[in-house]
């Protein structure tokens, strides 16, 4: 075998460069040697002759692992020691990060300098570790009785001579509490001739000894590397593999599957696949985490379990296994899982184990009840699901509740809701479900929760039912002398308009939210258009039409949070200046959802609204009075508009205000909370806690 060629040249001027045989070999494949030289000055190159011989073409998986690439100098994202190994280094050349095992670094040299190495900052640049340092580290192990497993690593420990290695192993074996010795090496893969019978015979004296070999690609499994592994396995040494997931090298299911199967056939058990660490100079090798998860998903079940490694990310906190999710839900009765083909199964739980260990009583389980937005079917009205919530909102609320230290169970309030609820045993529910079907649908989930005696956030059955019915809400407000426009309910178009009602009038469905059924034509100025619009509402929304006097002044919405002394958040004003001339200046469906959408950069909201102190007090008082007489709790958003006398009139009471997290979507309740200095998470937790305090689950 030709001698390994050394990396750094003291004199870097191009004319003085003498090409080595490696350079020549790479140039034959069309390498840019000048570029390689530049990279080598920062990150040395070393390629064993054998490994060089595995290259079939430029940029193939073997090449990428060992030949310097200009990309290494372009990495602006990463830092040198993301694993913070320096911090865990108690004695030089020893990393003690886990309770019962340590990493003992016995060589700073490697047979090859892998371009993606996690210890890129060190390899090939530091002095060889001295035997004195190693002895000092072994003394540490001797003093720490908790260490039962020593992982001998580097660099590459097999760059040491057999004699040096034996001294180290003998020393470790003389420590009674050291049970397992492991060697981590890449040499059987990159320089298999180093694995001699003599070496194996020496190693076998120190059993139980394990070796983990770093393999990354099926092309590395050759007659030579196979023989090296056999030599070790024949010495009774169990072999494992470690692989780094590398873009362009092994980031596909096909390659990884071939690799793990071939490893098993040369008696190497796949052990870990590492997500490539965010180390400076290796960004071009990094894949997204999904790639690894997907590969694992396509291995498990599709090939022998013996071939399946653990996919891990390594960080300052140690290795963390990342695996595809097979568990969908765990309930006290059963576990719901999917298999490798994504078929769903349930498996009975053991009640005893569950009640003793899995249900941690300190951590309350919060059910999150919601209705998920979907596209309307062909025979359904276009706005059928516009009150429902997007998965992004549900997810943001889930995370916010979790940030308060709770466990969250998602409960979609569809027709299986009762069955799900029975199975999950939640302590409290955070309710944003709008309900399905019927005029009082917002009260469905509260009613079911009441039935099961499960406390929940937000207003109760009666309030939800009343506030979804505008005429009922207005009757109660009028009874309490809270200003709201005069109105008349139309069950059909034959009814006569009461003389007391003066045009212009506005026509709305009696039981809808989110401006449904209110469009640009809803504002009417004469009998003819009134009749037309009443017909539209009755026909399209199958409910009574509410006709009320139009308030032509400014429009506000007031968010209220809490109980006993509810808090009024900064008032939101709805502005209409951005609308085209022909669009009426009120909160119609078009205004709310079409002229205001995330792609449209206009901000149709001003918060806090610019109000005189007198008007602000007046608006706040009316909103609070409405909140109180209607029996609202925890949170609510009340829409008001100034009439021609400048008096704020209550238009609508929203007991389930929208909670969209993205500020660009101008969800009004969150906007008011943001203006009050709250974060989204704080807002959700404040609603949750208001409910929990009210129900006696939490102290004020």
Ligand X SMILES: *Cc1c(COP(=O)(O)O)cnc(C)c1O
Can you give the binding site for ligand X, defined by CB under 6 A?
95, 97-98, 101, 103, 151, 319
Find the shortest distance in angstroms from Cβ 13 to ligand SF4: 28
**Choosing among ligand SF4, ligand X, none, which partner's interface includes residue 40 (Cβ < 5 to 8 Å by kind)?**
none
* Token representation of residue 472: 């009922």
**Residue among 48, 19, 49, 13 at smallest CA distance from 32:** 19
Find the shortest distance in angstroms from Cβ 212 to ligand X: 8
**Choosing among ligand SF4, ligand X, none, which partner's interface includes residue 113 (Cβ < 5 to 8 Å by kind)?**
ligand SF4
Find the shortest distance in angstroms from Cβ 293 to ligand X: 19
**Choosing among ligand SF4, ligand X, none, which partner's interface includes residue 68 (Cβ < 5 to 8 Å by kind)?**
none
Q: Are 650 and 619 in contact (CB under 8 A)?
A: no
Q: Are 109 and 155 in contact (CB under 8 A)?
A: yes
Is there binding between residue 186 and ligand SF4 (CB under 6 A)? yes
Question: Across 390-529, where does the E strand assignment appear?
Answer: 407-412, 428-431, 487-490, 505-509, 523-524
Q: Are 217 and 64 in contact (CB under 8 A)?
A: no
**Choosing among ligand X, ligand SF4, none, which partner's interface includes residue 98 (Cβ < 5 to 8 Å by kind)?**
ligand X
**Choosing among ligand SF4, ligand X, none, which partner's interface includes residue 117 (Cβ < 5 to 8 Å by kind)?**
ligand SF4
Is there binding between residue 114 and ligand SF4 (CB under 6 A)? yes
Is there binding between residue 155 and ligand SF4 (CB under 6 A)? yes
**Choosing among ligand SF4, ligand X, none, which partner's interface includes residue 554 (Cβ < 5 to 8 Å by kind)?**
none
Find the shortest distance in angstroms from Cβ 40 to ligand SF4: 14
Number of Cβ atoms within 10 Å of the Cβ of 201: 12
Within 8 A by CB and 6+ apart from 227, the residues are 192, 195
Is there binding between residue 276 and ligand SF4 (CB under 6 A)? no
Find the shortest distance in angstroms from Cβ 244 to ligand X: 13
Measured at the CA of 548, the angle between CA 547 and CA 553, to 5 degrees, comes to: 145
**Choosing among ligand X, ligand SF4, none, which partner's interface includes residue 286 (Cβ < 5 to 8 Å by kind)?**
none
Question: Toward ligand X, which CB reaches closer, 181 or 477?
Answer: 181
**Choosing among ligand X, ligand SF4, none, which partner's interface includes residue 214 (Cβ < 5 to 8 Å by kind)?**
ligand SF4
Which of residues 50, 51, 63, 113 is near ligand SF4 by CB under 6 A? Answer: 113
| DSSP reduced 3-state for 203 | helix
* Token representation of residue 74: 């372009």
C-alpha 24: how far from its chain's center? 48
Binding segment (CB under 6 A) for ligand SF4, from list 32-40, 115-123, 308-316, 486-494: 115-123
Which of residues 54, 117, 572, 605 is near ligand SF4 by CB under 6 A? Answer: 117
**Choosing among ligand X, ligand SF4, none, which partner's interface includes residue 101 (Cβ < 5 to 8 Å by kind)?**
ligand X
Find the shortest distance in angstroms from Cβ 31 to ligand X: 34
Q: How many secondary structure helices (H) and strands (E) does the chain include?
A: 23, 25
Question: Toward ligand SF4, which CB reaches closer, 292 or 566?
Answer: 292
Find the shortest distance in angstroms from Cβ 326 to ligand X: 21
Cα separation, 297 vs 305, in Å, equals: 12
* Token representation of residue 650: 């209550």
Size, binding site for ligand SF4 by CB under 6 A: 11
Question: Toward ligand X, which CB reaches closer, 95 or 429?
Answer: 95
Question: Toward ligand SF4, which CB reaches closer, 268 or 651?
Answer: 268
Question: Toward ligand X, which CB reaches closer, 95 or 673?
Answer: 95
Cα separation, 211 vs 198, in Å, equals: 16
Find the shortest distance in angstroms from Cβ 109 to ligand X: 19
**Choosing among ligand SF4, ligand X, none, which partner's interface includes residue 95 (Cβ < 5 to 8 Å by kind)?**
ligand X
Question: Toward ligand SF4, which CB reaches closer, 96 or 119?
Answer: 119
How is residue 318 annotated by DSSP? E
Instruction: Report how far apart, in Å, the C-alpha atoms of 292 and of each of 199, 215, 264, 340 are.
Output: 35, 16, 20, 16
Cα separation, 120 vs 287, in Å, equals: 18
Question: Toward ligand X, which CB reaches closer, 88 or 423?
Answer: 88
Within 8 A by CB and 6+ apart from 519, the residues are 588, 589, 590
How is residue 126 annotated by DSSP? S
DSSP state string for 272-292: EEEEPP-BTT-GGG---HHHH
Q: Are 427 and 365 in contact (CB under 8 A)?
A: yes
Find the shortest distance in angstroms from Cβ 172 to ligand SF4: 20
Question: Across 225-275, where does the E strand assignment appear?
Answer: 239-245, 268-275
**Choosing among ligand SF4, ligand X, none, which partner's interface includes residue 441 (Cβ < 5 to 8 Å by kind)?**
none
C-alpha 615: how far from its chain's center? 44
**Choosing among ligand SF4, ligand X, none, which partner's interface includes residue 123 (Cβ < 5 to 8 Å by kind)?**
ligand SF4
Question: Toward ligand SF4, which CB reaches closer, 114 or 571?
Answer: 114
How is residue 389 annotated by DSSP? B
Binding segment (CB under 6 A) for ligand SF4, from list 95-103, 117-125, 414-422, 669-677: 117-125
Find the shortest distance in angstroms from Cβ 655 to ligand SF4: 60
Which run of H or E residues covers position 535? helix 527-541
Instruction: Report how far apart, in Å, the C-alpha atoms of 246 and of each of 36, 148, 276, 353, 441 are.
Output: 20, 32, 7, 41, 53
Measured at the CA of 22, the angle between CA 20 and CA 24, to 5 degrees, comes to: 75
Question: Toward ligand X, which CB reaches closer, 142 or 319?
Answer: 319
Question: Toward ligand X, which CB reaches closer, 147 or 626?
Answer: 147
Is there binding between residue 110 and ligand SF4 (CB under 6 A)? yes
Cα separation, 362 vs 406, in Å, equals: 9
Is there binding between residue 214 and ligand SF4 (CB under 6 A)? yes
**Choosing among ligand SF4, ligand X, none, which partner's interface includes residue 155 (Cβ < 5 to 8 Å by kind)?**
ligand SF4
Which of residues 96, 119, 554, 592 is near ligand SF4 by CB under 6 A? Answer: 119
Is there binding between residue 156 and ligand SF4 (CB under 6 A)? yes
Question: Across 485-592, where does the E strand assignment appear?
Answer: 487-490, 505-509, 523-524, 545-549, 555-561, 567-568, 572-574
**Choosing among ligand X, ligand SF4, none, which partner's interface includes residue 114 (Cβ < 5 to 8 Å by kind)?**
ligand SF4
Question: Toward ligand X, which CB reaches closer, 138 or 609?
Answer: 138
Length, in residues, of the chain: 700
Q: Looking up tokens 């002759």, which residue turns up?
A: 49
**Residue among 680, 677, 658 at smallest CA distance from 669:** 658
How is residue 456 annotated by DSSP? B
Give me the residues that bind ligand SF4 (CB under 6 A), please.
110, 112-114, 117, 119, 123, 155-156, 186, 214
């Amino acid at each position: 075998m030709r001698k390994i060629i050394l990396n750094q040249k003291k004199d870097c001027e191009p004319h003085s460069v003498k090409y080595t045989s490696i350079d020549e070999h790479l140039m034959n494949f069309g390498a840019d040697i000048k570029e390689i030289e530049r990279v080598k000055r920062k990150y040395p190159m070393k390629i064993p002759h054998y490994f060089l011989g595995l290259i079939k073409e430029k940029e193939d998986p073997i090449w990428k692992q060992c030949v310097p690439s200009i990309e290494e100098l372009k990495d602006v994202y990463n830092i040198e020691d993301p694993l913070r190994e320096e911090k865990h280094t108690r004695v030089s050349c020893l990393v003690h990060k886990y309770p019962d095992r340590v990493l003992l670094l016995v060589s700073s040299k490697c047979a090859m300098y892998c371009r993606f190495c996690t210890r890129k900052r060190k390899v090939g640049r530091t002095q060889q570790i001295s035997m004195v340092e190693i002895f000092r580290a072994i003394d540490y192990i001797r003093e720490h009785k908790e260490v039962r497993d020593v992982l001998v690593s580097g660099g590459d420990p097999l760059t040491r001579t057999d004699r040096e290695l034996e001294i180290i192993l003998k020393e470790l074996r003389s420590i009674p509490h050291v049970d397992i010795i492991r060697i981590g090496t890449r040499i059987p893969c990159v320089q298999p001739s180093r694995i001699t019978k003599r070496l194996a015979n020496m190693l076998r004296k120190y059993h139980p000894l394990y070796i983990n070999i770093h393999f990354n690609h099926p092309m590395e499994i050759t007659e030579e590397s196979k023989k090296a592994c056999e030599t070790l396995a024949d010495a009774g040494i169990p072999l494992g593999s470690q692989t780094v997931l590398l873009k362009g090298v092994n980031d596909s299911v096909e390659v990884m599957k071939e690799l793990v199967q071939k490893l098993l056939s040369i008696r190497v058990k796949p052990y870990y696949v590492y997500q490539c660490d965010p180390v400076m100079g290796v960004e071009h090798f990094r894949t997204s985490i999904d790639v690894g998860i997907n590969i694992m998903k396509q291995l498990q079940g599709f090939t022998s379990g013996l071939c399946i490694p653990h996919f891990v990310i390594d960080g300052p906190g140690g290795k963390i296994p990342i695996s595809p999710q097979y568990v969908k839900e765990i309930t006290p009765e059963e576990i719901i899982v999917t298999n490798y083909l994504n078929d769903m199964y349930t498996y009975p739980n053991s009640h005893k184990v569950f009640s003793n260990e899995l249900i941690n009583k300190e951590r309350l389980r919060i059910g999150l009840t919601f209705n998920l937005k979907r596209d309307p079917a062909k025979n359904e009205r276009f706005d059928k699901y516009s009150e429902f919530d997007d998965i992004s909102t549900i997810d943001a609320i889930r995370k916010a509740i979790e940030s308060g230290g709770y466990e969250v169970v998602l409960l979609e309030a569809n027709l299986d809701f009762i069955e799900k609820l029975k199975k999950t045993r939640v302590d409290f529910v955070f309710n944003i479900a709008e309900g399905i079907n019927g005029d009082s649908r917002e009260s469905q989930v509260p009613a079911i929760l009441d039935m099961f005696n499960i406390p929940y956030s937000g207003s109760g059955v009666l309030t939800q039912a009343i506030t979804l019915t505008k005429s009922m809400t207005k009757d109660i407000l009028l009874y309490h002398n809270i200003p709201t426009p005069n109105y008349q309910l139309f069950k059909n178009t034959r009814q006569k308009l009461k003389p007391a009602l003066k045009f212009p009038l506005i026509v709305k469905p009696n039981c809808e939210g989110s401006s449904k059924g209110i469009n640009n034509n809803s504002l009417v100025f004469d009998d003819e258009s009134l009749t037309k619009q009443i017909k539209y509402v009755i026909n399209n929304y199958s409910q009574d039409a509410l006709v009320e006097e139009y308030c032509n002044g400014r429009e506000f919405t007031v968010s209220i949070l809490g109980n006993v002394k509810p808090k009024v958040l900064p008032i939101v004003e709805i502005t209409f200046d951005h609308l085209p001339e022909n669009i009426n200046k009120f909160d119609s469906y078009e205004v709310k959802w079409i002229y205001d959408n995330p792609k449209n950069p206009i901000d149709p909201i001003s918060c806090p609204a610019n109000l005189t102190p007198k008007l602000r007090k007046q608006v706040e008082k009316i909103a609070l009075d409405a909140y109180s007489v209607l029996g609202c709790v925890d949170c609510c958003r009340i829409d008001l508009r100034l009439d021609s006398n400048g008096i704020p009139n209550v238009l609508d009471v929203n007991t389930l205000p929208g909670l969209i997290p993205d500020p660009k979507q101008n969800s009004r309740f969150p906007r008011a909370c943001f203006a009050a200095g709250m974060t989204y998470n704080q807002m959700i937790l404040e609603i949750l806690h208001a409910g929990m305090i009210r129900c006696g689950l939490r102290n004020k």
